[in-house]
Amino acid sequence: MMADTLYLVVPCYNEQEVLSETARRLLDSLAGLLKMELISRDSRVLFVDDGSRDDTWNIIERLADGHPQVMGVKLSRNRGHQNALMAGLMTAKEFADVTISLDADMQDDISVLPAFMKKYYDGAEIVFGVRKSRESDTVFKRSSAQFFYKLLKTFGVEAVYNHADYRLMSRRALNGLSEFGEVNLFLRGIVMQIGYKTSTVEYDRGERLAGESKYPFSKMLGFAFDGITSFSIKPIRMITALGIIIFLVSIAVLIYSLVVNAMGNTVSGWTSTVISVWILGGLQLFAIGIVGEYVGKVYMETKKRPKYIIEKIVK
């Protein structure tokens, strides 16, 4: 049986410190996969420059000039990791039978790439890279990651626990992904909606080659919120339930006040009134904010603006 063509899709944003070493390791991995007859000679490493402000694109161009197995895509401006990844996957779809997406910092263990390909040849259209454990993480990083996945699960967002964007997708799965036209991308949730046969590969996540993480806690929290509002209406239902509860409580307080007044007792109530006003005001602003988030997403979707614009491709 003839081996299929693999494209390794690597989004990059200000990765000049690691890119040369990353390219060397990935090209070595391709050579190993080729030797094992798991991929064809047309396989490539596809770097996607997400509007970097450093020397990232110049390095990608030099790599493409010096290595026939390196390809580069430059976005016209910074569009964020998810859009950059989508741009790379949709570009690779035109050339590859299968793609594997991974980060440029080499924290994703590339020694398991043969395991990905074997799962693919066994019939899996999508293979998720799943971390074995988070023992190497700091307490804060581990707890924030657990909070992230629990938050998604609580609000009904289907996602693979301890999976980021290290995944294999067949061309058939990529064609399915291309059918999702939303502008607000949360690929971890969208990929789960495609269907087809899936599998997992466990791996140990290593340390960054250099530089700092592009996903601090604040960005991770915002990412989780984007995922929730893109795939669940539970927050709005929670607001509805909270409104009903407050309404029932207010009816009970009204009845209590009428009974107390009928009995001739004087109720000062200044403190409770002020507290009630502040609590209700805060809840109203919170509710308006959540509803506004959904309205804003609908607004952005109706504009049908492009998720990315490719400025240049080198190969």
C-alpha span between 228 and 108 (Å, rounded):
25
Question: Would you place residue 269 in the very low, low, confident or very high pLDDT band (cuts 50, 70, 90)?
Answer: low
Average pLDDT over residues 47-53: 93
Q: Which residue's entry shows tokens 């390794």?
A: 8
Identify the CA nearest to 53 among candidates 71, 75, 70, 73. 75
What average pLDDT does the segment 84-99 reach? 94
How far is the C-alpha of 96 from the C-alpha of 254, rounded, in Å? 68
Q: What percent of the chain has pLDDT over 90?
A: 40
Strands of the sheet containing 310-314, edge to edge, are 198-203, 126-131, 163-170, 98-101, 6-12, 44-49, 70-75, 310-314
What region, left, alpha or beta, does residue 196 occupy, with left being phi > 0 and alpha being psi -120 to 50 degrees? left
Q: Taking residues 86-100, what's their average pLDDT?
A: 94
Tell me which DSSP letter residue 105 carries.
Answer: T
Q: pLDDT value at position 24?
A: 94
Return the DSSP state at 137.
S
Which fold, 6-232+306-314? Spore Coat Polysaccharide Biosynthesis Protein SpsA; Chain A (3.90.550)
- What pLDDT band is residue 247 in, cutting at 50, 70 and 90? low
What sign does the CA torsion over 203, 187, 158, 176 have? negative
Count the Cβ atoms, other than its own, within 10 Å of residue 247.
10
Q: What is the pLDDT of residue 257?
A: 65
pTM of the predicted model as reported, rounded to 2 decimal places: 0.73
Q: What's the pLDDT at 279?
A: 67
The answer for 168, left when phi > 0, alpha when psi is -120 to 50, beta otherwise, is beta
Give residue 290's Cα distance to chain centre: 20
Highest mean pLDDT among 35-49, 198-212, 247-261: 35-49
Q: Domain spans of the chain?
A: 6-232+306-314, 234-303
- Mean pLDDT on 178-186: 81
Q: Provide the phi-psi class of 80: left if phi over 0, else alpha when psi is between -120 and 50, else beta.
A: left
CB 37 within 8 A of CB 22: no
Distance of alpha carbon 242 from alpha carbon 198, whole angstroms:
38
User: Per-residue pLDDT averaged across 148-167, rounded?
Assistant: 73
User: What is the model's pLDDT at position 105?
Assistant: 87
Q: Which of 129-133, 141-145, 190-194, 199-203 has the lowest mean pLDDT?
A: 141-145
